[in-house]
């Protein structure tokens, strides 16, 4: 969730919000899904039509695009999608009750007995020497199954062992839960706030006067240090000063609105 919605949508510009969607071949449901994906994953595939828009159009229409996104994030549809996405990412505990472990062990015994029966049946087709060679393994398997059924096998987990493993599992679960709560906050506004803040940090200090040079049909920064800049920094450079400044102002306004709540 490191890439910002505004940054991802910086190429999605036309003259009005509804025109933006139709001009780039997106229906409202498509646009809503794109916005949701951008917020939750930080990635968006920008239609090729967006890249053909004139630089002069971008600052004019970025407002409409962001306002569309802001409106959608307030809808019940977005909130339900977010809640489902968050719930799907929630970790689960590996702890098991002793009764559950016993059921699993009984199922394991049944599977072993089935396999042994099948092995014995297949032995009938083998020559006497092979059958004799396999007899020892068969007896060992029978002994193992008998011990497990009697509850004396060292392979069976005792209640004390299950309790100890559950302590470890619960500690691990609590750590995962803490991480999940931080990465998937209950309020989607927290994620949006985080992305807006990240955008303002990432877009600060972009050198819009940076020179480019052609090399093997591709453009590179004359200053090699700029080639090491983040993708977000480079996207802002390509979008231009006017569009980036507009996006920054919109981000500040959105942040202000979120912080007022």
Question: Domain spans of the chain?
Answer: 5-90+184-260, 98-177
Q: What is the mean pLDDT of the chain?
A: 84
Question: Which residues have CB under 8 Å from 113's CB, separation 6+?
Answer: 145
Q: What is the pLDDT of residues 37-88, one digit of tens each?
A: 888 876 655 555 556 667 776 776 677 778 888 999 999 999 999 999 999 9
Q: What is the pLDDT of residues 179-212, one digit of tens each?
A: 999 999 999 999 999 888 888 998 898 999 999 9
Q: What is the pLDDT of residues 81-114, one digit of tens each?
A: 999 999 999 999 988 888 888 898 899 999 999 9
pLDDT at 249: 94
The percentage of the chain sitting over the pLDDT mark of 90, rounded to a whole number, equals 36
Go through the chain and tell me how many residues it has.
Answer: 261
Instruction: List alpha helices for the chain, DSSP H.
Output: 5-8, 17-23, 28-41, 55-73, 76-89, 98-123, 128-150, 159-183, 188-203, 231-239, 241-260
In this model, does residue 14 exceed pLDDT 50? no
pLDDT at 21: 66
Q: What is the pLDDT of residues 141-153, one digit of tens each?
A: 889 889 888 888 8
Say which residue, 224 or 44, is predicted with more confidence: 224
Residue 17 — pLDDT band, cuts 50, 70, 90? low
């Amino acid at each position: 969730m490191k890439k910002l919605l505004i940054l991802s949508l910086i190429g999605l510009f036309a003259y009005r919000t509804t025109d933006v969607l139709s001009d780039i071949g997106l229906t409202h449901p498509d646009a809503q899904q794109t916005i949701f994906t951008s917020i939750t994953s930080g990635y968006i595939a920008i239609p090729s039509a967006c890249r053909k828009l004139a630089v002069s159009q971008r600052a004019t229409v970025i407002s409409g695009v962001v306002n569309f996104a802001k409106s959608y994030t307030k809808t019940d549809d977005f909130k339900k999608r977010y809640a489902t996405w968050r719930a799907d990412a929630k970790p689960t505990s590996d702890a098991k009750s002793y009764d559950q472990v016993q059921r699993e062990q009984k199922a394991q015994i049944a599977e072993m007995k089935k396999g042994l029966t099948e092995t014995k049946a297949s032995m009938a087709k083998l020559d006497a020497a092979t059958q004799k060679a396999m007899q020892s393994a068969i007896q060992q398997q029978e002994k193992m199954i008998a011990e497990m059924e009697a509850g004396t096998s060292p392979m069976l987990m005792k209640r004390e062992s299950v309790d100890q493993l559950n302590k470890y599992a619960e500690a691990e679960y609590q750590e995962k839960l803490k991480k999940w709560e931080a990465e998937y906050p209950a309020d989607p506004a927290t994620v949006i706030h985080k992305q807006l803040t990240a955008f303002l940090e990432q877009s600060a200090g972009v050198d819009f006067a940076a020179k480019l040079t052609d090399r093997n049909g591709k453009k590179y920064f004359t200053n090699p240090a700029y080639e090491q800049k983040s993708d977000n920094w480079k996207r802002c450079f390509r979008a231009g000063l006017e569009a980036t400044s507009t996006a920054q102002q919109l981000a500040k306004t959105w942040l202000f609105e979120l912080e007022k709540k």
